[in-house]
Amino acid sequence: MFGSAVPSSVAPMTLRTAYTLPEGVMKGTTTVGLVCKDGVVLGTERRATYYGGFIASKTAQKLFRIDDRIGATIAGGVGDAQSLIRTLRAEAALYRLRRTAPMTVEGATTLLSNILNGNRYFPYYVGMLVGGVDGNGHHLYSLDADGGAISDKFGSMGSGSTIAYGLLEEAYEDSLTLSEGADVALRALTAAMKRDANSGNGYLLATISEKEFHEHSEEEIKRRLGKLKIPVP
């Protein structure tokens, strides 16, 4: 789900819930995350659509580096998601300056959870995955618009998530390496793009290990797709 101005015909915010998107807000996405034995994989596709099915963007940025070893994916209103990403990046940088140590994945997730929960009556229209590596291990959290945070081995957000989950459930194993996890993420995104009209137009992929946050280039992704025998979009 990705925002534009809300039409005057939309009911007052007090009559809406955190899951009722107003007309005119861009929507449609599939994001995935996996915890692997040597790190975390985050992936998204690149399409954003307006209410009614119009493709608003074919190059939407839905995967972000938050700190050296923490990343996040977004689904929801563009303005809301971008605002949260800017806040989280700033807080992570301030934490590092004040404490001369990086923020933990749990700390970043808790901060986001508190912001979302504190605004649940005037909600941010977002669903996010936050993943990364810290001194406590490898972590992935999913967050909803009410601020609920769930830790899991793998997760998906967005309109194509129900399709992606089918493949993730089948293919996920605790023993996956980052490389194997990256392939699973691409397969899950591909499955979603084949059946969800609001998902498509390419891939974004990042692998996070103790050594680095690696954002895969288009060429790297194309090579992986070729080995998986997935047509390059």
| 23-143-99 Cα angle (round to 5) | 125
Q: Which residues pair with 126 in a beta bridge?
A: 76
Of 29, 31, 49, 190, the catalytic one is: 29
**Catalytic residue at 29?**
yes
Show the CA angle centred on residue 167, arms to residues 133 and 3, nearest 5°.
Answer: 70
> Distance (Å, rounded) from C-alpha 54 to C-alpha 70?
32
8 Å CB contact between 132 and 208: yes
Asked if 149 contacts 108 with a C-beta cutoff of 8 angstroms, the reply is no
How do beta strands 154-157 and 203-208 pair?
A: unpaired
In which region does residue 134 sit, left (phi positive, over 0), alpha (psi from -120 to 50) or beta (all else)? beta
Please give the radius of gyration of the chain, using alpha carbons only, rounded to the nearest integer: 17
Q: Are 141 and 40 in contact (CB under 8 A)?
A: no
Task: For residue 211, count other CB atoms closer than 10 A to its CB.
Answer: 10
Write the single-letter amino acid at 205: L
Token code pair at residue 32:
């995935």
The phi and psi torsions of 57 (rounded to 5 degrees) equal: -155, 145
- Which positions are annotated as active-site residues? 29
